[in-house]
């Protein structure tokens, strides 16, 4: 399997797990209905994408992977 694709899939799965866990933790600590975990996770995902697109990873993408590992990076930009 392509290592860039594997890194991309692992990054996406990892961030999804973190956002879901944080959503559940927040609703538990706030003592609110569990269904709020989904919209909280959505807000966390949006915030992560905004930060990643401006401060972390390859500019202009929502990925936190460095340009050399991001499968969306054209080969001539990684040198």
Q: Across all residues in the chain, what is the average pLDDT?
A: 87
Specify if 43 maps to a domain: yes
Answer whether residue 18 shows pLDDT above 60.
yes
Specify if 21 maps to a domain: yes
Tokens 């993408």 identify what position? Answer: 61
**Per residue in 44-74, is it b (16+ CB within 10 Å) or e — as a string?**
bbeebeeebbeeebbeeebbbbeeebbeebe
Task: Band the pLDDT of 4: cuts 50, 70, 90.
Answer: confident
pLDDT value at residue 19: 96
Residue 20 structural domain: 1-55
Specify if 33 maps to a domain: yes
Determine the Cα–Cα distance for residues 63 and 53; give it in Å rounded to an integer.
7
Task: Band the pLDDT of 78: cuts 50, 70, 90.
Answer: low
Summarised one tens digit per residue, pLDDT across range 62-74 is 888 887 777 777 6
Specify if 31 maps to a domain: yes
Q: How many structural domains compose the chain?
A: 1
pTM of the entire predicted model: 0.78
């Amino acid at each position: 399997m392509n290592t860039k694709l594997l890194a991309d899939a692992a990054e996406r799965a990892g961030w999804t797990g973190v956002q879901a866990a944080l959503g559940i933790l927040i609703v538990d600590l706030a003592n609110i209905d569990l269904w709020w975990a989904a919209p909280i996770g959505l807000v966390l995902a949006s915030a992560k994408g905004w930060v990643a697109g401006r401060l972390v990873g390859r500019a202009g993408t929502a990925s936190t992977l460095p340009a050399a590992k991001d499968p969306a990076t054209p080969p001539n930009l990684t040198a």
